[in-house]
Structure 1
Amino acid sequence: MDASSNSPFNALPPVVVGLAVVMGGLELMFQLATAGLLGGAGGVGWRIAAMQDYAVLDSVWEWMRANRSYPPEQLVRFAAYPLLHGGFVHVAFVVVFILAIGKMVAEVFSPLAFLLVFWVSAIVGALAFVLVLDSGYPLIGGYPGVYGLIGAFSFIRWINLGVAGENQMRAFGLIGMLLAIQLIFATLQGNYGDVVADLSGFVAGFILSFIVSPGGWQRILNRMRQR
C-alpha cells in the first residue's frame, strides 16, 4: 500500500489544507524572522510592521470616518487581518479549528462557498469591532472567520436536526460553549473586542449559509413561494 495514502491530509478538502498552510506558512516566516534566520536585522520587526499595516485598528477607522476617505490601502485591513497572528499559539489554535470545523463545512459546501463564509464573516466581524466598540486593541487573527465556519457548521447541523425531526437548538451547543469561555476570559482581561468580532462572524457565517450552501438559494425561494 502506498504510504502517502495514509496521510491525514488526504481526508481533508484541498481548500481547507490551503488556508491552513497559508496561515501556518506566514507564522513560520515571522518566527524565522524573529529568530534572526530570515530577513537579517530588519526581520525582527516584520510582525510589528505587518500589524501596523494590516491589523484592524479603531483609530484608523475613526480617521477614515472623520475624513470621509476610505483609501484601499486602509480598507485592505478588513480582509488581510485574518492571516496575521500574534504568535505560534494563536495561529496553532486557529489552524486546528480550520482543520476540524473547516473539514466538516468543506465536505458540504463548495470551495468558493467555504472561502466566502470565512472571509465575509471575518470582514463582518471586523466591521462590528470598529462600529460597536472603541477599542485600543488591534484586531488580528483568523478567529472571526473561524467562527463564521462554526456558523456554517451550526447551519448544517440545524438543517440535519430539522430533517430528523429533532430539537434544532442543539445545533448551537458548540457556539454557546465557546462564547461562554470567551466571556470569562474577556471579563478577566477587560477586552471584549474579540467576543464582538467572533460573535458577529458566527452570525454572518450562519446567515450566509442560507445562500451559499448547496441548494441554499433555491431553498429560500421555495420558502418565499410557500408564504
Structure 2
Amino acid sequence: MSDQHDPDFEPPFNKLPFIVVILFLIAGGIELALSAGEAGLVGGPSAIGWRLGLVRDWGFSGDLFDAMLAQRYFPPEHLARFITYPFIHLSFTHALIAIVLMLALGKLCAEVMGQFAMLALFVCSGIGGALIYALVLDDPVWLVGAYPPVYGLIGGYSFLMWRKLAASGGKQMEAFTLIAMLMGLQLVWSLFSSVGYGWVAELSGFVCGFVLSFLFAPGEWARILGKLRQR
C-alpha cells in the first residue's frame, strides 16, 4: 500500500496555509525557471539574460520612483513593481533563504492572524520597505527579493511574541531577539563584503510588519475600538 493510503500520511503542503503555498509556488516557480535557464536546461542561449530582464522589467528602482514623483505621473506598470519585486531574486541561494524564511514565518503568522492578515502583512511590508528605500536613499541599485516582506513577517512574529511576553509578565524586549540577531549578522557580514543598502528596505519592512500587527493580530482591532469608545 502506498503512503498516500496510509491514514497517518499527511502531504507536506497540507500543513501549510493555502496562501503560503501560493506565495511559495510563485517565488519558487520563477526561481526554478531562471535557474534552469542559466544551467542551459531550457530556453537556449537567450535564457542567460532572463534574470536580468526580470529585474529590469519588474524589479523596484528608487531612481524610477523619484522620476515618477518629479513628474507626478504614476503608470500602473511601474506601480506594480511594488508588488512584483519580492518574487525576483539575484541567485538561487538568494531565493532559497528568502523562501525558507517565508514558509516558516508565513505559516506562523497565517495560523495565528489568519491567511488574509498574513497576506496583507506580506504585501504591505514589501510596499513599505520599497517606499522608504526610495524616499530615504538615493541609491541606483535595484531592489529585488522577498526579504523586505519577509522581514515584515518577522515584525508580525515579534509582535505576537511581544504580546505573549506582556501577558505572561516576561521581558518584552526578548521579542526582538530575532530581528536583533539578523541585523547583527548583516553588520558582521558587512565587515567582509559590500552588502549595499538593502537592509534599509528590510528594516523598514520589519517596522511596517510590527506596526500593522496592531490591526491584524487577533483581538487587537477590537481592543483599539474599545479604547476609542471609552474616550
Q: TM-score range by the shorter chain?
A: over 0.9
The partner residue of 1:40 within 32, 37, 44 is 44
Distance 1:98 1:76, change over 3 A: same
Distance 1:183 1:223, change over 3 A: farther
Distance 1:157 1:46, change over 3 A: same
Q: Deviations over 1:6-55 (max 9, x none)?
A: 44433222222221222111100111222333233332211111111111
Query: Map of 1:49-128 to 2, 5 A cutoff?
Result: 49-128=53-132
2: distance between equivalents of 1:86 and 1:126? 17
Query: Map of 1:170-185 to 2, 5 A cutoff?
Result: 170-185=174-189
Q: Which residue of 2 aligns with 1:139?
A: 143
Instruction: Answer yes or no: is the 8 Å Cα contact 1:84–1:140 preserved in 2.
Output: yes
After TM superposition, the structure 1 stretch with the greater mean CA deviation from structure 2, 15-24 or 25-34, is 15-24
The one-letter code of the counterpart of 1:36 is G
1: distance between equivalents of 2:16 and 2:2? 18
Q: Which residue of 1 aligns with 2:33?
A: 29
Q: Which residue of 2 aligns with 1:207?
A: 211
2: distance between equivalents of 1:115 and 1:73? 21
Task: Find runs of 4+ consecutive structure 1 residues off by over 6 angstroms.
Answer: none
2: distance between equivalents of 1:107 and 1:50? 32
After TM superposition, the structure 1 stretch with the greater mean CA deviation from structure 2, 103-112 or 58-67, is 58-67
Query: Map of 1:143-158 to 2, 5 A cutoff?
Result: 143-158=147-162
Task: Report how many aligned residue pairs link the two structures.
Answer: 227
Q: Deviations over 1:154-173 (max 9, x none)?
A: 11111111111211111111
Instruction: Answer yes or no: is the 8 Å Cα contact 1:33–1:39 preserved in 2.
Output: yes
2: distance between equivalents of 1:190 and 1:135? 14
TM-score by length of 1: 0.92
1: distance between equivalents of 2:184 and 2:110? 26
2: distance between equivalents of 1:44 and 1:199? 32
1: distance between equivalents of 2:227 and 2:152? 24
2: distance between equivalents of 1:202 and 1:224? 27
The partner residue of 1:218 within 216, 222, 230 is 222
- Measure how far apart 1:182 and its partner are: 1.4
Distance 1:54 1:186, change over 3 A: farther
- Measure how far apart 1:2 and its partner are: 6.8
Equivalent position SS for 1:37: coil
RMSD across aligned C-alpha pairs, in angstroms?
1.9
2: distance between equivalents of 1:75 and 1:88? 26
Instruction: Answer yes or no: is the 8 Å Cα contact 1:158–1:169 preserved in 2.
Output: yes
2: distance between equivalents of 1:209 and 1:2? 43
The one-letter code of the counterpart of 2:17 is P
Instruction: Answer yes or no: is the 8 Å Cα contact 1:58–1:134 preserved in 2.
Output: yes
Q: Which residue of 1 aligns with 2:170?
A: 166
The one-letter code of the counterpart of 1:213 is A
Instruction: Answer yes or no: is the 8 Å Cα contact 1:12–1:103 preserved in 2.
Output: yes
Instruction: Answer yes or no: is the 8 Å Cα contact 1:186–1:195 preserved in 2.
Output: no
Q: Which residue of 2 aligns with 1:3?
A: 3
Structure 2 unaligned spans of 5+: none
Q: Deviations over 1:40-86 (max 9, x none)?
A: 33322111111111111122122212222111111111111000001
State the percentage of identical aligned residues. Answer: 45
The one-letter code of the counterpart of 1:3 is D
Q: Deviations over 1:144-195 (max 9, x none)?
A: 0000000000111111111112111111111111111113334554554211
Equivalent position SS for 1:108: helix
